[in-house]
Amino acid sequence: MNDVKEGEKAPDFSMPVSDGRTVSLADVKGKSLVLYFYPKDNTKGCTVEAIAFSALADEFASAGAIVIGVSPDTLESHARFEKKHDLTVLLGSDEDHAVAQAYGVWKEKNMYGRKFMGIERSTFLLSPDGTVRRVWRKVKVDGHAEAVLAALRDEA
C-alpha cells in the first residue's frame, strides 16, 4: 500500500473505462489528469460528486485535463450510472482494486461497527509529465469538483 504524495511520480495504472478503452498513465501523457476515487456507483455522495465533475467537464477539458472517476464497480454498473445521471466524465472500473491500492486509497473502513475494505474518497491531480501535483484525501463532496478545477487553473 503506497501513500502517494505531492511531487512524486504518479503510480502507473491500466484499467478499462466507460467508453470501451483501456487507459493507462502513458495514454494521458501530455495532459493533466484528475483521478477521483469514489466508493460506489449510484450512492448519494458518489452521485453528487460525479454530477459535479460532469457539470464542469468542458471546463476541465479547456484547461487541458482528462477526468476519470474510479471505483470497484463493473463497466456494466458504470453504464447504468452514466445513463441514469447523464454523466459525461470517464468512469474507470477497478474491480481488482489494483489502481486504488497503487494510490493508497483501498483502506479498512468502519460503518455501523462493521469493518470492511473499501475506497477512501480521494482525488489526485496529475501534471502532464505524470507528477502528482495535488492530493485530496477523505474528500467532502460539496464544492470538491470546483476546488480541483481551481487548483488545475492555479497551477497551469
**Of residues 4, 33, 35, 46, which has the active-site annotation?**
46
- Alpha-carbon torsion (150, 154, 155, 156), positive or negative: positive
3-state secondary structure of 33: strand
What the block records as the C-alpha cell of 99 is: 489502481
Strands 114-119 and 122-126: unpaired
Nearest to 91 by CA among 47, 126, 132: 47
Verify whether residue 59 is a known catalytic residue. Answer: no
Strands 106-111 and 114-119: antiparallel
Active centre residues (catalytic): 46
